[in-house]
């Protein structure tokens, strides 16, 4: 029963983390190149039109205005492994998922370690390895892998929210109720941080 719960949790984590491959294949057309960015809009000086103005708060003349540059939206960090992984890594991740879902955790872990050999700074691989270790009942290793994923995630809230949830579960299973609560709070904080990119 416990093993089944862990497999369900592993599957849910993978879905929540958005680690599924894109429909129709392992890689998007054009390989690993990021999607083309729209060309920047011309600046007011290029169009000959005045830019946005804001009143100055200094006391030098009262009615003067200063031009301000428009805010550029933050670029969203990757939500899934498919956004940053090579086709070879995606193939190994898919194989590891299949093995884990069939209950072959040792083989899934070995497959993920092979993926790490190809891409040792990919936080999604460490996250999946943490989930496999958790499913095996290796709580300490699960927490270590999740922390390693955080360390290479470049503060990606999509990755770190899932990692902190894994850490919370590992601590809960190890009997560390207080540590589990702290990790759960971290997961909530990172989910809230990630939500800014959903707007």
Residue 52: pLDDT above 50? no
What ranges do the domains of the chain cover? 2-20+78-198
pLDDT tens for 7-31 read 555 555 554 454 443 433 333 334 4
| Range of weakest confidence among 1-10, 78-87, 127-136 | 1-10
Do the beta carbons of residue 126 and residue 158 sit within 8 Å? no
pLDDT tens for each residue of 97-125: 999 999 999 999 999 999 999 999 999 99
Of 51 and 195, the structure prediction assigns the larger pLDDT to: 195
Nearest-5° Cα angle at 146, 145 to 148: 65
Measured distance CA(51)–CA(60) in Å, rounded: 21
Residues for the chain: how many in total? 199
C-alpha to C-alpha distance for 152 and 159, rounded to whole angstroms: 10
Burial of 70 (0-12, 13-18, 19+ CB in 10 A): exposed
The token pair that represents 55 in the structure block: 């009143």
Helices (H), the chain: 2-16, 44-47, 87-101, 105-118, 123-135, 139-151, 157-173, 177-195
Q: What is the pLDDT of residue 103?
A: 97
CA dihedral 192, 124, 22, 16 (to 10 degrees): -40
Task: List pLDDT tens digits, range 64-102.
Answer: 555 566 666 678 999 999 999 999 999 999 999 999 999
* φ and ψ of 19, to 5 deg: -90, 5
Question: What are 141-173's pLDDT values in tens digits?
Answer: 999 999 999 999 999 999 999 999 999 999 999
Task: Please report the pLDDT score of residue 75 as a whole number.
Answer: 87
Percentage of the chain modeled with pLDDT above 70:
63
pTM over 0.75: no
CATH number of 2-20+78-198: 1.25.40.10
Q: Which two tokens stand for residue 176?
A: 């560390």
Using DSSP's 3-state secondary structure scheme, residue 56 falls into coil
- C-beta separation of 27 from 93 below 8 A: no
Query: What is the pLDDT at residue 1?
Result: 53
| Tokens encoding 33 | 């190149």
SS (H, E, C) 112-144: HHHHHHHCCCCHHHHHHHHHHHHHCCCHHHHHH
């Amino acid at each position: 029963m416990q093993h089944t719960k862990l497999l369900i949790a592993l599957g849910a984590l993978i879905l929540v983390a958005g680690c599924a491959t894109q429909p129709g294949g392992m890689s998007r057309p054009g390989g690993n190149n990021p999607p083309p960015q729209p060309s920047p809009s011309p600046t007011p000086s290029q169009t000959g039109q005045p830019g946005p103005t804001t009143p100055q708060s200094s006391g030098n003349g009262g009615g003067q205005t200063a031009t301000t540059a428009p805010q550029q939206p933050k670029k969203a960090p990757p939500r899934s492994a498919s956004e940053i992984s090579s086709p070879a890594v995606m193939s190994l991740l898919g194989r590891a998922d299949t093995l884990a879902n069939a209950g072959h955790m040792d083989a899934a872990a070995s497959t993920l370690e092979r993926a790490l050999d190809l891409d040792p700074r990919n936080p999604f691989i460490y996250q999946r390895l943490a989930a496999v270790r958790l499913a095996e009942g290796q709580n300490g290793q699960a927490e270590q892998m999740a922390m390693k994923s955080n360390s290479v995630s470049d503060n990606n809230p999509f990755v770190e929210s899932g990692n902190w949830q894994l850490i919370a579960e590992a601590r809960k299973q190890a009997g560390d109720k207080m540590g589990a609560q702290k990790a759960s709070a971290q997961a909530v904080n990172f989910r809230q941080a990630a939500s800014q990119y959903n707007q």
